[in-house]
Structure 1
């Protein structure tokens, strides 16, 4: 019997529902590990984040999202996993594509937790 592992994800930014295309991405770990020698590794902190492509609906308050510095981003994946990003803010260069009405967004934050 098959098990559902992919499909629609649901994302909210400070309570505002985003319509996303494709999927969303969030890190599984809080650190990046690299092997130095067999059995030995080093760790670097990894900033918590959520990446997605969203449709900018006419009723979406995009200014609130652009200017937000302490937002909560909740991403519910189709398989039931939920990632909550606290203290979130937009990073990089968010871009808007007028031909299909979508925006590439990446939120970094202070703390990311899987529920």
Structure 2
């Protein structure tokens, strides 16, 4: 029997659902490891994040997104898992394209938890 591992995803910002194109990225780990010499490594904390391509609809919460500094972003993936980013805020340049109404959004935050 087949198992669904990809497909339709959902993004909610403080409980308000965005329309997205499906391009969602969440980190699988909260650390980055690098080998120093064989068998020995260093470990760095990674910043929790969610990247998503949203569609700027008529009810797009632009003001909430650009002004929010303590949002909760929930990514519900097609396999049934969810990644919750708390203490979130937009980073980098948030912009929308006129030809397809796509808004590339990158959120970073204080904590990210898989559920």
Give TM-score scaled by structure 1 length: 0.97
Point out where structure 2 has 5 or more consecutive residues left out of the alignment: none
SS at match of 1:93: strand
SS at match of 1:50: strand
Aligned to 1:58: 58
4+ residue segments displaced more than 6 Å:
none
| 1:41 matches 2:18 | no
CA distance in 1, matches of 2:37, 2:81: 34
Provide Cα deviations, 1:74-113, integer angstroms capped at 9, x if missing partner. 0000001100000000001112111111100000000000
Number of matched pairs: 115
| 1:10 matches 2:14 | no
CA distance in 1, matches of 2:33, 2:90: 25
Q: Which moved more, 1:32-41 or 1:75-84?
A: 32-41
Question: Offset at 1:23?
Answer: 2.3
Point out where structure 1 has 5 or more consecutive residues left out of the alignment: none
Give TM-score scaled by structure 2 length: 0.97
